[in-house]
Amino acid sequence: MDLVADAWACAAVAADGIGVKVVELSTIAELDDCSALLQRVWRAEHPSEIAAPSMLRTYAHSGNYVAGAYRGGVLVGAAVGFFGLAPHDGHGGPHLHSHLAGVERDGHGLGVGFALKLHQRAWTLARGVAEVHWTYDPLIQRNAYFNLRKLRVDAVEYLPEFYGPMTDGINSGDLSDRILVVWRLDDPGVADAARGVAAGLDLTGAVPLVSRSVAAGAGDEPLVHDPEDAAAVLTVAVPPDVEELRRRDPGAALRWRHAVRDALMGRLAAGHRLAGMAPDGRYLLVRDR
């Protein structure tokens, strides 16, 4: 079976296994529903704050990626992307930039996002493009785990304040730091991930750089460590639920932002690479010898 056919087969298995159907969206009614879903996911005040139906119509009409996952005729997830050239920073080549991907909140952890991404992979490969790029908030644990472990993306750059100030219900009041990832669709490890084989992670000998404080009264504060420069394997923790923490204690969320930013940017610049995320919410940084 060739790569494209195999990608479509994996996408079908993922969708069928959870009872959803993933299809491209093109009609005005479909795109209105997509825009409204994305508005709900981001808790935005207006659809145009995230993705106006007219913008989605333009993307779909011009051959870009607009798709939705349906369960029983109801839209439960959507993904939107557009084609890009090699970026100025040299990370990869022609690619699909996956701008938005969201699932209704009661559908988190049920495989809808995975089915959408596998459809996106097959769709992109079928158009002769072998990479998908996107950014994600490094403090959102579930997204980091999904991207690094389940999809096996490569995290290539930390981007501080990438979007500038944001006003939607999830990001308002926080800094818009992002990690840029490259999903190499023809990589054997990615093909394994499409079959449900998560990436392995070896935390043996890992030294904490940022951890969650367990001191009495410390609450949700990050605990920053100063390991020796010789440490080849490091961990950087993130808060369990930064979206809830932003609402409850914006100051603590901001301290986590700076602690994780300083740790990741500093060690990436010093030669470490981001090798994955553990289920307990710790990034693994490895310096290859």
Question: Does residue 242 share a domain with residue 100?
Answer: no
pLDDT of residue 89: 59
Question: Does residue 112 share a domain with residue 8?
Answer: yes
Q: Which residues, other chains included, contact 245 with Cβ-Cβ below 8 Å and sequence gap of 6+?
A: 220, 239, 252, 253, 256
What range defines the domain where residue 239 resides? Answer: 207-286
Among 41-50, 71-80, 194-203, 207-216, name the one with the lowest average pLDDT: 207-216
Q: Which of 165, 194, 223 is the last residue of a domain?
A: 194
The C-alpha angle with vertex 212 and arms to 135 and 104, in degrees rounded to 5, equals 40
User: Does residue 202 fall inside a structural domain?
Assistant: no
Question: Does residue 179 share a domain with residue 274?
Answer: no
N-terminal to C-terminal alpha carbon distance within the chain: 37
User: Does residue 157 fall inside a structural domain?
Assistant: yes
Question: Does residue 148 share a domain with residue 13?
Answer: yes
Q: How confident is the model at residue 202 (pLDDT cuts 50, 70, 90)?
A: confident
Q: How confident is the model at residue 88 (pLDDT cuts 50, 70, 90)?
A: low
Question: Does residue 250 share a domain with residue 214?
Answer: yes
pLDDT of residue 163: 87
Mean pLDDT, residues 187-204 taken together:
91
pLDDT of residue 227: 84
83: domain CATH number is 3.40.630.30
The residue ranking higher by pLDDT, 129 or 271, is 129
Question: Does residue 138 share a domain with residue 18?
Answer: yes
pLDDT at 259 over 90: yes
Confidence (pTM):
0.92
The C-alpha angle with vertex 258 and arms to 254 and 262, in degrees rounded to 5, equals 170
Q: How far apart are CA 78 and CA 161, in angstroms?
A: 25
User: Does residue 156 fall inside a structural domain?
Assistant: yes
Question: Does residue 138 share a domain with residue 225?
Answer: no
Question: Does residue 63 share a domain with residue 143?
Answer: yes
Q: How confident is the model at residue 85 (pLDDT cuts 50, 70, 90)?
A: confident
Q: How far apart are CA 58 and CA 162, in angstroms?
A: 24
pLDDT at 237 over 60: yes
Q: Tell me which residue of 140, 142, 131 sits closest to 181, measured CA to CA.
A: 131
Q: Look at the chain and report how many structural domains it folds into.
A: 2
Question: Does residue 38 share a domain with residue 122?
Answer: yes
pLDDT at 173 over 80: no
Question: Does residue 228 share a domain with residue 143?
Answer: no
Question: Does residue 220 share a domain with residue 177?
Answer: no
Question: Does residue 190 share a domain with residue 211?
Answer: no
Share above pLDDT 90 across residues of the chain, in percent, rounded to a whole number: 71
Q: How many CB atoms lie within 10 A of CB 44?
A: 20
Residues 104-163 have pLDDT tens digits of: 987 777 899 999 999 999 999 999 999 999 999 999 999 999 999 999 999 999 999 988
Instruction: Give per-residue burial for 95-121: e unless 16+ CB within 10 Å, then b.
Output: bbbbbbbbbbeebeebbbbbbbbbbbb
User: Does residue 172 fall inside a structural domain?
Assistant: yes
Structure token digits, residue 179: 């990690």
Q: Tell me which residue of 147, 230, 208, 159 sits closest to 183, measured CA to CA.
A: 147
The residue ranking higher by pLDDT, 35 or 202, is 35
User: Does residue 199 fall inside a structural domain?
Assistant: no
Q: Which of 163, 194, 225 is the last residue of a domain?
A: 194
